[in-house]
Structure 1
């Protein structure tokens, strides 16, 4: 009799454990799905990192080409009248950037024929991504102007530009 009670108790305990485990299966399936998605994302990220690391020459060429485009872009819009922006900047920058420059410079700034802007500084902030961030300084005899520029290597054009305030921007004036 004691053995049968002990057996019934053991069976009830094992049945309780089995029911508890069966109720946890959906949660475990959900966790497994989330972990698989996380693993897939990590593998994709690792492959992208390995591609960049394994082909630094192509990334360096990419940065070099985009730096030339950014430099040409700043020289072009600094030394051209705003009326020609839509033609001369097409292909180098998005239409949003061209419109923004036209609206910003057209009412208040006219670049003089006597002034000529050079671009002595083009610095890359982040060289390992599809969006390259640049700090560009354009300098004339009268002033220096700094810009932050975002170049999208996928679209092969400038997608954002903003002008920075330089302390002593008119320090060459007498």
Structure 2
């Protein structure tokens, strides 16, 4: 009789533990789904980081091609009359930039008397991301002009620019 009571008590105890465990299964499934979603996000983020870190060559070639495009853009608008901007700069810059150049950013030298402009300095301000930022100085025999230019590598166009004032060794306007 004592053994049967112990057996019944053990069976009831095991049944209670089993019922408790079965009740926790839905809660554990929710936690598993959340953990898998978090793991997927972390893996995606890690993959993006690894791509940026492990492939600086692709970023470097993208920056190099963009730098050439920006240099060509500055040489083109610096050495062309303002009236030709809509045709010559089409595809190199957005309409907004072309309009701003035509109206406000053109060098102050009269275009008929203007010397040839070179681009001796082109520095990258921000090289990561799809929008590259450049500092550009265009120089002629008469003056030097500085610009900040934003180049969108996805659109492959200059999307924003502003003219800067020069002080010091580049300020050779008379």
Task: Structure 1: give runs of 5+ residues left out of the alignment.
Answer: none
Contact 1:81 1:110 in 2 (8 A): no
Which residue of 7, 11, 19 maps to 1:7? 11
Q: Give 3-state SS (helix, strand or coil) of 1:134's partner.
A: strand
Q: Give 3-state SS (helix, strand or coil) of 1:115's partner.
A: coil
In the alignment, the residues of structure 2 paired with residue 60 and residue 43 of structure 1 have an alpha-carbon distance, to the nearest angstrom, of 19
**Taking structure 1 as reference, are residues 167 and 10 closer, same or farther at Cα in structure 2, changes over 3 Å only?**
farther
Contact 2:151 2:157 in 1 (8 A): yes
Structure number, greater radius of gyration: 2
In the alignment, the residues of structure 1 paired with residue 139 and residue 78 of structure 2 have an alpha-carbon distance, to the nearest angstrom, of 10
Q: CA deviation at 1:103?
A: 3.4
Q: Give 3-state SS (helix, strand or coil) of 1:84's partner.
A: helix
Which residue of 21, 25, 28 maps to 1:21? 25
Question: Partner of 2:114 in structure 1?
Answer: 115
Q: Give 3-state SS (helix, strand or coil) of 2:97's partner.
A: helix
- With normalisation by structure 1, the TM-score equals 0.72
Q: CA deviation at 1:71?
A: 1.7
Q: 1:88 aligned to 2:99?
A: no
RMSD value, Cα:
3.2
Q: CA deviation at 1:137?
A: 0.9
In the alignment, the residues of structure 2 paired with residue 72 and residue 170 of structure 1 have an alpha-carbon distance, to the nearest angstrom, of 21
Contact 1:145 1:169 in 2 (8 A): no
Task: Structure 2: give runs of 5+ residues left out of the alignment.
Answer: none
Question: Partner of 1:43 in structure 2?
Answer: 47
Q: CA deviation at 1:89?
A: 0.9
In the alignment, the residues of structure 1 paired with residue 139 and residue 166 of structure 2 have an alpha-carbon distance, to the nearest angstrom, of 11
Contact 1:78 1:111 in 2 (8 A): no
The within-5 A match list for 1:142-161 is 142-161=142-161
**Taking structure 1 as reference, are residues 80 and 72 closer, same or farther at Cα in structure 2, changes over 3 Å only?**
same
Q: CA deviation at 1:163?
A: 2.4
Contact 2:144 2:173 in 1 (8 A): no
